[in-house]
Amino acid sequence: MIAIPLGEGFGLNTNLLETNIINLAVVIGVLVYFGGDVLKSLLNTRKENILKSLKDAEEKFKQTELNLANAKNELALANKKAEDIKVASKQASTDRCNFLLERAEQDIVRLQESQLTTVKLEEEKILQQLCVKLSNSSLEKAEQKLTRFMSRETVVSKFLYARDIERKIARLSKA
């Protein structure tokens, strides 16, 4: 309590414990009386801000969950596309390989046929050359015999023999 002597007016109380408690009670009372509404309004504002922050956080959480679900779906689609591309590329590679193998086999067959044709042409050429050589050799022998015979025989027999040789030559040239 404040000790005020009668008749003296205001004085100074030196008892610190009493004065501090009284001063604190007066300050708190004034604060509660005048600052109660302000404190209530600050607390209500703070409460509203906290509730709004919680509501915003909950909405962001829901949006994040939705985004996560969409991202998972897109990842699944991307994995499916990647698998489809992988399968398609394997199939294309197999098809191309089979095509090239078939083409190589066709080329081998064609080359073998070409080789056989070349061998046959060479055989025919060699046979033709042999025929020409045999014909030339036969004609040379015939000329030699004719020359020997002509030198020995009479003109009539030579004429007959020459006609016989001409017929044989004509037959040979037709063959």
* Cα 11 to Cα 14: distance, rounded to the nearest angstrom: 9
Joined together, the tokens standing for residue 103 give 């083409």
**CB neighbours of residue 9 within 10 Å:** 7
Asked, for residue 2, whether it belongs to a domain, the answer is no
DSSP conformation letters of 56-72: HHHHHHHHHHHHHHHHH
This prediction has a pTM of: 0.41
- Report CA torsion sign: 76, 81, 84, 89: negative
**Domain count across the chain:** 1
User: Which residue's entry shows tokens 């002509």?
Assistant: 150
> Residue with structure tokens 């991307």?
78
Whether pLDDT at 123 is above 80: yes
Answer yes or no: is 112 within a domain.
Answer: yes
Query: CB–CB of 172/135 below 8 Å?
Result: yes
* Residue 5 covered by a domain: no
- Predicted confidence band at 63 (pLDDT cuts at 50, 70, 90)? very high
- Decide if 6 is inside a domain: no
Q: Is 61 contained in some domain?
A: yes
Cα–Cα distance, 125 to 123 (Å, whole number): 5
Domain span at residue 130?
16-174
40 part of a folded domain: yes
What is the per-residue pLDDT for 38? 77
Q: Which run of H or of E encompasses 23?
A: helix 16-152
| Predicted local confidence at residue 18, as pLDDT | 66
pLDDT at 8 over 70: no
In a domain, 155, yes or no: yes
Instruction: Decide if 133 is inside a domain.
Output: yes
